[in-house]
Amino acid sequence: MKDYLPVSREDMEKRGWDQVDFAYVIGDAYVDHPSFGPAIISRILESEGYRVGIIAQPDWKDENSINIFGEPRLGFLVSAGNMDSMVNHYSVSKKRRSRDYFTPGGVMGKRPDHATVVYGNLIRRTYKNKPIIIGGIEASLRRLAHYDYWDDCLKRSVLLDSQADLLSYGMGEKSIVEIADSLNSGIPVDEITFVRGTVFKTKRLDNLYDYITLPGYDELCADKLNYAKSFGIQYRNTDAFSGKCLVEPYNNNLYVVQNPMSYPLTEEEMDRVYSLPYMRNYHPSYESLGGVDAIKEVKFSLISNRGCYGGCNFCALTFHQGRIIQARSHESIIKEAEIIINDPDFKGYIHDVGGPTANFRKPACKKQLTKGVCPDRQCLFPKLCPNLQVDHSDYLELLRKLRALPGVKKVFIRSGIRFDYIMADPDETFLREMCEYHISGQLKVAPEHISDTVLRTLGKPENSVYRAFCKKYAAINRKLGKPQYLVPYLMSSHPGSTLKEAVELAEYLRDNNLNPEQVQDFYPTPSTISTCMYYTGVDPRTMQPVYVEKNPHGKAMQRALIQYKNPKNYELVHEALTMAHRTDLIGFDKKCLIRPKNTKDIQRKKQGTNTARQTKKTAAEKKYGISFEKYDSIQKAEALRKKNGRKNGHRN
C-alpha cells in the first residue's frame, strides 16, 4: 500500500496496527520526499519491516503531544528537522526570522529552540526507560561538545542534554537499521555500542580499543585552545576508513563515545534509498493551512550525489556526509525523472540535478574507497592534489539523457559547482554545454571573497582561479551568442577578514561594476572549522592565530563595504574607510567608493552653481546686448506681472 505513514492513531488503526515500533518525533512538518531526512529514515525502516508513526511538530508544552500512538514497541526517534532549529529560527544577527519554510503556511514558532534537547526531555518525562535515538542535522553536528553561537558558550554533547540513549550521526541509513535490528533482537539500548555512525554514553571504557581520548569537557571550558585541539582531532577522524573512535570525558566518570563514521553507500545502496515509495509531497492535511514552502525547490529536482571533498571551512558537510562522493546510477535518476514528468504540476523544467556540489560524480581519487581520504590534505586546496581525477564525462552523459526525455523543456543546474574543478578540466565540453543548455541568464558561483588572505581561511582557491574562470565563462558565452552573467556569492566578516580585506573586496566590486543585492555575513554554525576559528581565534589544524571580527559594529562595516553603493550604508562605509586609512577612496574621482560628507559636497555644488551662473550671464549679454543684471530684473518683473494677472482672473 503506497500511502503516507501514519500521523494519527486513526491512521495507525486503518493499517491494522495496534502499536508502532518507532514513534518518530520531528521538528518539521511531515514531507514525504527524499530531500527530507526523516522521510528517508522512516521509509528505510518501513522497507525493513518496521512500523513507523510520524509525530510532526508536537506541542512541546503539552506532554500528551508525544502520546499519539501510545507507547512504541521499540523506542522513539527524534530529529529537529532538515535544519538546525537555531539556524531555522534566527538570522546571523540573532534576530528572529519571520517565516519557517518547513512549517505549514510558513508559520514561525511551531518548534522550540534547541528542538532535539526539548523533544528528548519531553519524551523522557513520560517514558522513563524507553529508548530514545536522536539524529538529523542538529544532533549530528552537536554530537560532541560544541560552540553554540546563539548562547555564546561551549555546550555539552546533545546526547547528554537531550537525555537520549543513542545518537545516529551522518546520513544514518545504515546505522538506523542496525540499531532497529539490535533493539528488535532484545539487546538493551545501553549495550548497543558497536554501531558505526553512532555516539553513546558509558561509564566504562574496557570494551573499547584503538581509541583517542579528547580533552575533557571541563578542560574545554577552561581554555579555548583545548577546544581547538579537540576539534582538530575530530576533523582528522571524520573518515569511515581511517577515522578512530573518539572518547570525550565528562564529570562523574561519564564518557561520550563517538564510533567511526558509517561506510559510504554503494551505488546500489544509493539507488535503493531513492527508489522507496515516497509520496513526494507534504502530508495532505497541510493543504488547508497553506502547504509547506520547502517542497517547492526540491519537488522537481534530482539528487544525483552526496558527500563533498571541496573542503570549504565554513561548511559542515565533512562532519555530516563526509568527503567521499557517493552517486546514484543514471538508471535510478532517470527513473525518478520519469516520475517527476508524470506529475500533473510538472511544467517541463527539472530545477536541479546535483547535490552538495553538482559536478562531483565520483570520489576524488581511486584510493578513497579502500583507504579513505587523507586526514591532513585537501583534494582541491590550496592547490589541486596531483591524484585528483578531473572528469565531467559521466555528469555530461547524465544531463544529456535527462534533457532528451519526452516532456522535458530544460534541465537546470542550481546546486553549487566548483569552478576550480572546471578550470582543471582540459576539456571545455562541460562548461560549454552548461552555458548552452543548463542555465538561464545567469550562473551563481561562490568565490566568497577575492582576498587570498581570506580565501585561505575560507578553504577556497586563490582569486586568480576565479578570475580565470570568469574570463573563460565570458568567452564561451560570447561564442554561443548568449548574454549570460555570473552572480558571485560573497561572505563578509569571515575569520581572517579585517577592514583591509573588506576594502579590497569593495574595490574589486567597483572595478567590475558589481552591485550585490544579497550578502551573507559569516554564520558560526556547529561543527565547522570556521566556527572553531571564530570561537577560539586559531586555526584548529595548525593552531596558528586567526583574526576574528566579533564586534557587531565591525561586522556591519565589513558588510556595508560590499554594498557601498547603497545610500543607507554611507556612514558605515565612511567610517570603515577612515579606520582603514583609505580616505583616498572618498572623493569625486572614478576610483572613489563614496563622495565626501555633506559639507564638502555643498561646497562642490556651490562652486558648480557659480560656474553655471557665470556661463548663463555671458550668454545673455551676448544675445540681448544688455547687462545680465538688467536682463535679469526685466525677467523678474515680467514674471511678477504674470503672477498678479492670474490672481485677478486673467491669463496673459
pLDDT means over runs of 10, the chain (652 residues): 92 96 98 97 98 98 96 98 97 95 97 98 97 98 98 98 98 97 98 98 94 98 98 96 97 96 97 97 97 95 96 94 96 98 96 96 92 92 93 97 97 95 96 96 94 97 97 97 94 97 97 88 97 98 96 96 95 97 95 84 54 64 64 69 58 40
Longest dimension (CA), the chain: 112
**Residue 115 to residue 88: CA distance in whole angstroms:** 11
Residue 54 pairs in a beta bridge with 24
Output the nine-digit C-alpha cell for 273: 534509498
Nearest Cα neighbor of 231 from 541, 505, 544, 603 is: 541
Instruction: Output b/e per residue, 337-367; b: 16+ Cβ within 10 A.
Output: beebeeeeebeeebbbbbbbbbbbbbbbbee
**Residue 466 to residue 208: CA distance in whole angstroms:** 47
pLDDT of residue 369: 85
The helix (H) or strand (E) run that includes residue 281 is: strand 281-282
Output the nine-digit C-alpha cell for 294: 520547502
pLDDT of residue 350: 97
3-state secondary structure of 288: helix
**Residue 472 to residue 416: CA distance in whole angstroms:** 18
Instruction: Output b/e per residue, 594-605; b: 16+ Cβ within 10 A.
Output: bebeeeeeeeee
**Residue 288 to residue 335: CA distance in whole angstroms:** 31
Q: Are 563 and 547 in contact (CB under 8 A)?
A: no
H helix runs in 185-294, sequence order: 217-222, 224-235, 267-274
Q: Are 466 and 419 in contact (CB under 8 A)?
A: yes
